[in-house]
Structures are given as C-alpha cells and as structure tokens.
Amino acid sequence: MVLQIAFTPLELAPKQFTVGDTIRVTFTFKYAVGADTAITIQAVPYQYRLGILDRIGASAGHKEITLAKATEPVELQESIDFTLRDIAAGTYGLLVEVPGTTYGARADDVLIVTEAPSLWTGMFGMMMMLMMLGMVGMVVPALTGATTEEGEAEGGESLS
Amino acid sequence: MKLKTLALELEVLQAGNDPPEYAPGWYVDPATGQPIFYDPNTRTFYTMAGGIYIPLGYMNTAPKQVTLGPGEKLKITISYKYSGPAVTGAVERFCVGVYGAFGFDEKLVGTNTKNLSQSTSPVSYSGEYTFTIPTSAGADWDDIYCKISGGSPSVPETLFGYENALIIAGLQPTISEFKILDYVKV
C-alpha cells in the first residue's frame, strides 16, 4: 500500500511575533502502528528561497512522542514549543513534520516576525533621556536663579 | 490475538474437454459488482480495463479491507467448483504480498493439498489457511492471491486475488490527516 500524506490546506490567520518569542503550535494526526513506537516531531519556520523550502533550523523545536500500538487508525493531538532564534524580520511559513518522512503539515506565510529592540536602540533611548534630563537640570536652575535674582532686585526696590 | 478472515471465491475448475458451464455474454461479478464477460472458447471471464479486455481471475479490486498488526492472524478462505477426473494432491496456494508492475511478490505463502473427486458436474470445494502477521511485515504487504494447481492428473491452474485487501500496521507508523490546529505565543 502506498502511503501518501497530502498537506491539508489551512486557514490559519497570520500572526505577529518578535524575535525571541516562544510559539506553541498545536497539531493533530491519525496513526496506526504495530507496536509502541517513539517518533520525533519537529516544528520549524520556513521560507521559500529560489523555490526551495528552506527551514530556519535555529528556530526549530522538537518533541519525542510515543505512539501506542494501534492497528486501527487513532487520532492524536499534541503541541510543540519553538523559539524564534537567529531569524531575520520577515514573513515565514510554519511546518510541523516527522523529519525524514513525508508526514507533516504546513501553512505558508503565517508567521510575521519583527526584530526585537536592539541593545543600541535601548542605549540610545536612555542616552537621549539622560541628555534631556541634563538639559532640564541645566536650564531649570538657570531659570530659577534668574527669577530669584529678579525677585530679590524687585523686592529690594520695593523695600526701599 | 485477533483472527480476521478474508474469503475468496475462485472460478469453476474444469478438467478435460467438458463443455463450458456458462453461455457467452456479460455477467456481474458477485464479489465486486463489476460487469464481466465470459468467453466459452477460453473458458475465461474477462473484465475491461482501459478499453482492453483482460482475463478476470487474477488481481481484482478488494471488496473489503482487513486491518492487521504484527502477531495478529489472517484467515483466508476460498471456495471453488471442480468437475473432471479424480485428482490427487492438487495444491491450494495462499499468498500475501506486494502486487506491482512486475507481478506478485509473495511475502507469505501457505499451501494445502487436496484430493478432488471424479465428477461430471461441478462440485463445490473450500479451503482455508491462517497466516500470522510477522513483525517484519511491511505496510505494502496489502495484496493477496490464491491459486489452485498441480496434482495428478494436473488441474488447470486457476488464480484469483485482491489488491489492497489488507492494511498492515507494521513497526513503522503510518500517519494521515496531519493538521496544524493553532499556534500562539507563550
């Protein structure tokens, strides 16, 4: 018997994530096996490059699942976590598969990945704030001093 | 262990030059419901595939599927009719295997020997064989066929089989209906 797994068209809505986010993907499949068997499932973002499905391996998540013996097909639902690492900003597909086989499911263009704020971006913001505080610190005493001197001068005059 | 059965009905066996049992024309295969044509000259039923008449009596579409795992037992039963001289040692051959472009690759074979009585009219016979599915069974061992041949005097060889009659749950899992349900940030 030839076993063919047809990738099922999916209606998953695209969602936005940031580099460093951990994503939990939930999936389901039916299986039959003659004895208890452990298999590894992989969840991984992908992009097409020159028409070839290119998995972003650094962001892949793996999980070992034990399939209990079942001579009649049974349904199983599982989930895998994977973290977006070493991945550039962009739009990616999501692939869940049994590596080394044709078993799996995928959804194109559902992961919209944005870059996390960088260290420099944070430091620049902090430096800007410090500079603004410094300027305020310089300007406020000057203004306050001028007002006081003016007040004292006016007061002096009024007293006299 | 579960015992699952699959029954096959073979053609009429006739030895010598006895006249054909059926008139030429179209019949309905009781096993599959398909129209079949009987040719009295060759004493063979034919089915049409791709515009070509091919002899019925070899591989046909299975009327049902039986799911089996390693250690489970499959009993195949056959029935046929014979008329002609008495035959000693006719061989009933039962096979499970892979049917493809190069014929039938027999993976499991079982045989019975049977003596057939002399008769001028078709007499019904039946046979059965029980296989135990081994752990090495492949998921593609899904075809079966049975054959009657040999003996003294030799009976005309008669074949009959079913494609995709079995679903073998082997040590390698078979997975289907794989779907992504949802994905969320955690």
Residue pair B35/B26 in contact by the 8 Å Cβ criterion: yes
Contact call for A23 and B186, based on CB within 8 A: yes
Sheet arrangement for strand B25-28: B25-28, B35-39, B44-49, B52-55
Q: Give the chain A residue whose CA is nearest to the CA of B142.
A: A1
Percent of chain A at pLDDT exceeding 70: 78
Summarize pLDDT for A74-103 with one digit per residue, the tens. 999 999 999 999 999 999 999 999 999 889
DSSP, res B33: -
Mean pLDDT to the nearest integer, A133-144:
76
pLDDT at residue A155, as a whole number: 44
Indicate the residue of B72, B140, B180 with minimum beta-carbon distance to A71: B72
Chains A, B: CB contacts within 8 A come to 125
pLDDT at B81 exceeding the cut of 60: yes
What are the residues whose beta carbons fall under 8 Å from the beta carbon of B149, sequence distance 6 or more?
B90, B91, B93, B155, B157, B158
pLDDT at residue A8, as a whole number: 52
Summarize pLDDT for A53-67 with one digit per residue, the tens. 999 999 999 999 999
* Local confidence band at A159 (pLDDT 50, 70, 90 cut-offs): very low
* pLDDT, chain B, mean: 81
Q: What is the pTM of this model?
A: 0.55
Distance from CA of B164 to the nearest CA of A (A): 7
Report the distance separating Cα A122 and Cα A115, nearest Å.
13
Question: Looking at the complex, does the CB of residue B69 fall below 8 Å from at least one CB of chain A?
Answer: yes
Residues facing A83 on adjacent strands: A22
Q: What is the dihedral of CA B19, B25, B29, B33, to 10 degrees?
A: -170
Q: Give the chain B residue whose CA is nearest to the CA of A15.
A: B184
pLDDT at residue A82, as a whole number: 97
Residues facing B172 on adjacent strands: none
Mean pLDDT to the nearest integer, B103-130:
91
> Looking up tokens 């989930």, which residue turns up?
A79
Higher per-residue pLDDT: B72 or A151: B72
Report the distance separating Cα B14 and Cα B50, nearest Å.
30
Instruction: Kindly indicate whether the ipTM for this predicted assembly is greater than 0.95, answering yes or no.
Output: no
Q: What CATH number labels B3-19+57-168? A: 2.60.40.10
Q: Which CATH architecture has domain A15-114?
A: Sandwich (2.60)
**Domain range summary for chain A, segments of one domain joined by +:** 15-114, 117-160
What are the residues whose beta carbons fall under 8 Å from the beta carbon of A89, sequence distance 6 or more?
A19, A113, A114, A115
